[in-house]
C-alpha cells in the first residue's frame, strides 16, 4: 500500500495568516495515464469530508481561491493564503493512483 | 446537484453482518464509481472499496475477504455488506461518489458491541 505522511499533524494558526500542510507519499503518485491523483479534503467537526482539490492543484467547484495545491511525484502541499474561521477542521491528503486508495493521517487546523 | 443518502443498522453484535445502502439523487448514476469509506471515532479515513454502475468492483485487500459492494442501477443505489464484524469495525461509514469523493453521504455510525 502507498503510505501517505502528513506534516504537521497539528497547525495552530492566526486568522488572516497563511497556513501550509505537507503530504509525502511512499512512492510516486504519477499514474500510467500521466495524471497524478492526489487530492485534499477538509473535514469540519461533525461533518463528512469535503473535496477541496484534486489532481494536485485543481480546485473543486465552490472552493475559495485562498486554497491552493502544488507538488509533484511524492511531495505535495496544501496552502491557505489567509485562514478564516470556517477553515477550522482536519485536512486529509488522499491518493487514488493505486489500489487500495489511501489517506494521510490528517492535519488539525486550530486557531491560536 | 447530486445528493447521497445512506441508511442501515447502527448497532451490531460481534460476528453479525453490517449492511448499509446509499441512494443517489440527481446527477448521472452511470458515469461514476461509487465508494464506501469509514472512519473510526476520532481517527482517520479508510477506503473500503468501490463499484461502477455495471458492477465492477475494487476492494481494499485488508477487508476484501469480508466485504461485498453491490449495485442496483434501476434504483440508483449501492450497498455495503461486511461480515463477521468485531469492535474494530466500529466506525462512521460514508458513501461517496468517485475517489476522492466529490459528493458524500451524511455518514452512519455503526457500533459493534456485545
Q: What percent of chain B has pLDDT over 70?
A: 100
Contacts of B64 in chain A (CB under 8 A): none
Contact yes or no for B58 and A99 at CB 8 A: yes
Mutate to test the interface with B, among A37, A47, A48 (most CBs of B within 10 A): A48
Per-residue model confidence as pLDDT tens digits over B22-34: 999 998 899 899 9
For position B31, what pLDDT does the model report?
A: 87
Contact yes or no for B102 and A100 at CB 8 A: no
Residues A37-63, buried b or exposed e (16+ Cβ, 10 A)? bbbbbbbeeeebbbbbbbebbebbeeb
The grid coordinates of residue B76 equal: 440508483
Question: How far is residue B17's CA from residue A100's CA, in Å, rounded to a whole number?
Answer: 23
| pLDDT higher than 90, residue B99 | no
Does A108 contact chain B (CB < 8 Å)? no
The residue-averaged pLDDT of B71-83 equals: 96
Per-residue model confidence as pLDDT tens digits over A51-84: 999 999 999 999 999 999 999 999 999 999 999 9
| pLDDT higher than 90, residue B2 | yes
| pLDDT higher than 90, residue A111 | no
For position B100, what pLDDT does the model report?
A: 86
Amino acid at each position: 500500500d502507498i503510505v501517505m505522511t502528513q506534516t504537521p499533524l497539528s497547525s495552530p494558526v492566526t486568522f488572516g495568516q497563511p497556513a501550509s500542510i505537507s503530504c509525502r507519499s511512499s512512492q510516486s503518485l504519477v499514474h500510467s495515464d500521466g495524471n497524478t491523483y492526489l487530492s485534499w479534503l477538509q473535514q469540519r467537526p461533525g461533518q463528512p469530508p469535503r473535496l477541496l482539490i484534486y489532481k494536485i492543484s485543481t480546485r473543486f467547484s465552490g472552493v475559495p481561491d485562498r486554497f491552493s495545491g502544488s507538488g509533484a511525484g511524492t511531495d505535495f502541499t496544501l496552502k491557505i493564503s489567509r485562514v478564516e474561521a470556517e477553515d477550522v477542521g482536519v485536512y486529509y491528503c488522499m491518493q487514488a493512483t493505486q489500489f487500495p486508495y489511501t489517506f494521510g493521517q490528517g492535519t488539525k487546523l486550530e486557531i491560536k | 446537484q447530486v445528493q447521497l443518502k445512506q441508511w442501515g443498522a447502527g448497532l451490531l453484535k460481534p460476528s453479525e453482518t453490517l449492511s448499509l445502502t446509499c441512494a443517489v439523487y440527481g446527477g448521472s448514476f452511470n458515469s461514476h464509481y461509487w465508494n464506501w469509506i469509514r472512519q473510526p471515532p476520532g481517527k482517520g479515513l479508510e477506503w473500503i472499496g468501490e463499484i461502477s454502475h455495471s458492477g465492477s468492483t475494487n476492494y481494499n485487500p485488508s477487508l476484501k475477504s469480508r466485504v461485498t459492494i453491490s449495485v442496483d442501477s434501476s434504483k440508483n443505489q449501492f450497498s455495503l455488506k461486511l461480515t463477521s464484524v468485531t469492535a474494530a469495525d466500529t466506525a462512521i461509514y460514508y458513501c461517496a461518489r468517485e475517489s476522492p469523493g466529490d459528493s458524500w453521504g451524511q455518514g452512519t455510525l455503526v457500533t459493534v458491541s456485545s
